[in-house]
Amino acid sequence: MSESDNGEGRHLDYKSLRKVTGTSADFPSLAQDCVCFANAAGGRILVGIEDDGSPPDASQRIDPALPDRLQKRIGELTVNVRVLTEVARHANGGEYVVLTVLRAGGVASTSDGRFFVRIGDTCRPVVGDEVVRLLDERPTEPWETLATLDVPRAQADPTVLARLVAGLRASDRVKSSVKEKSDDELLAHYTLVRAGRLTNLGVLLVGTSADRARLGTAPVVQAIKYDERGAKVAKYVWDDHTRSPIELVDAIWQEIADFREAYELPVGMFRATIPAFDEAVIRELLVNALVHRPYTQRGDIFLNLHPDRLEVANPGRLPLGVTPRNVLHASRRRNDGLARVFHDLGLMEREGSGFDLMYELLLASGRAVPTVTEGVDSVHVTVPRRVMQPGVIRLLADADQRHQLTQRERITLALLAQTEGLTAPDLVERLALDDARALRGWIARLCDLGLVAQSGRTKGTRYHVPPELLRSVGLDHATTLARVQPHRLRALVLEDLERFPDSGRGDIHRRIGKEIHEKALSRALEELVVGGQVLAEGERRWRRYRLAAPTAKGHEPS
């Protein structure tokens, strides 16, 4: 086991040796995990390593017959799953089995007809309509590698081809052995050519505009600018297929002047020029739209430019298993070949880190995080234009200069500075984490460095940026109902219930202020009930609250 194998993830899983030996052997469960990896991007299962990743016992030895038995049983219990097995030795001398699951050419399933897919470090079942989506997303042969138009290699656009080849050879992400290949070998290496014919991916990237138009699903982009009243004031269209997806990114950035506008804002004693849109964010949005769209489906990409935001609408839904809630962490490639070319050219971040980058850049510039919504047949990503908290820029710059923060720490610190504090459950929700245990890697060092303070325990733990740091960068704004402290919120509730006894939560919320987060109000009510200051009757929507005694007013500090 290598040093890099330090935790389960998208490509790695651990299984105790007990799962495949003795009376407790559970081969069907192992088969499900293999189906999960096969329907994702492949991976490895280390059999003989406990779930927590602890090393095997130094005396652990693998039965020589076990690898063959594993391969046979998995073949019997799955369909379209290929595995390789080998015995490996840990540094302490203990043995374990490395089960390598190859990515399925089509769709993999268990022998009894069930489907599973690996999302992050979780194996989840695919049921109902999702099965149809899985079949559509995992054809036997990917759209990119087909040569449906029968376009000869010689018909590639020589100018576009020369630029692509030059870009790949100049990239520090491409191995020297790949750069040494001839032009034709390079095209074959990136699956742009197959048996002397341009593949669909080849037509898309180096074909002529006429051949690209024949594909039927080559991207068309429309950018529409709206004024404060929602009326259209300008429109840009890229629909002539003269540019490949690689060239579209530069063209769109250069032709829309709004992307290069800037604000001048006070930051401490100085004034700073803040771009209306960060170039890296815009390029990442465009790359995401071009690389991750389904090329088996028609539909234009829309850039809806409003005075306060940019919305990018892409045809097709999110890849199976990726949701608006987990998009910060989950990652599934839809077009492997296209993503590989974009990555090697330096046009996109490594897999799964694009949204991390956007979160970091937007929060560090005093803006809100991107929002993702999924329609019936489209995905919408919205990023804000206006800077809401310019002091965050200075706070992040000072903290980063002194402590060299990681990307996760920058995101967390900026989020807490903008919200002036969050409870542990709220922070877990904002960061789209699975549970509070995963929060430690995001918050622990910030607390150790004194950049974040905490109060309370367990679910009541609240994290916030110390007041002296907020004051130093001008973030000590007047308190509003949206940022009201817990003790003040409880006082508001007690005052409201004295005037309006036997009220429901919705009525209390309406009277004391809708800007207060619903969860914060629910916690305040629960704390008052547990503390005996408020009585509650009924369940759920019929639950009513009243003061436990007439003297309850004043029990909380104002």
Band of the pLDDT at 351, cuts 50, 70, 90? low
pLDDT at residue 128, rounded to an integer? 83
Chain centroid to Cα 437, Å, comes to 19
Structure confidence by residue, pLDDT tens digits, 48-61: 998 777 889 999 99
Structure confidence by residue, pLDDT tens digits, 62-99: 999 999 999 999 999 999 999 999 999 999 999 999 99
pLDDT at residue 224, rounded to an integer? 97
Beta bridge partners of 14: 46
Q: Which of 311, 427, 314 is nearest to 371 (CA)?
A: 311
Residue of 134 and 478 predicted with greater confidence: 134
For 348-403, what is the HEC assignment?
CCCCCCHHHHHHHHHHHCCCCCCEEEECCCEEEEEEECCCCCCHHHHHHHHHHHHH
Q: How far apart are the first and last CA of the chain?
A: 59
Give CA–CA dist 319/330, Å, rounded.
Answer: 10
Residue of 5 and 25 predicted with greater confidence: 25
pLDDT at residue 336, rounded to an integer? 86
Residue 266 has pLDDT above 70, yes or no: no
Residue 286 has pLDDT above 70, yes or no: yes
Q: What is the DSSP track for 167-217?
A: HHHH-TTS-HHHHTS-HHHHHHHTTSEETTEE-HHHHHHHS-HHHHHHTS-
Structure confidence by residue, pLDDT tens digits, 317-341: 888 777 787 777 766 678 889 999 9
Structure confidence by residue, pLDDT tens digits, 120-164: 778 889 888 788 878 777 776 889 999 999 999 999 999 999 999
Give CA–CA dist 385/387, Å, rounded.
Answer: 7
Q: One-letter amino acid identity for 196?
A: G
Residues with Cβ within 8 Å of 343's Cβ and at least 6 positions away in sequence, in order, are 173, 349, 350, 351
pLDDT at residue 552, rounded to an integer? 42
Buried b (16+ CB within 10 A) or exposed e, 512-545: beeebbeeebebbbebbeeeebbbeeeeeeeeeb
- All structural domains of the chain: 12-137 (3.30.950.30), 143-214 (no CATH), 223-336+346-384 (3.30.565.60), 391-477 (1.10.10.10), 484-552 (1.10.10.10)
Residue entry with tokens 């149809």: 132
Give CA–CA dist 196/187, Å, rounded.
Answer: 10
Give CA–CA dist 109/135, Å, rounded.
Answer: 11
Residue 509 burial (10 A CB sphere; 0-12, 13-18, 19+): buried
Strand-pair category, 122-126 with 193-194: unpaired
pLDDT at residue 343, rounded to an integer? 93
Mean confidence (pLDDT) of the chain: 86
Band of the pLDDT at 479, cuts 50, 70, 90? very low
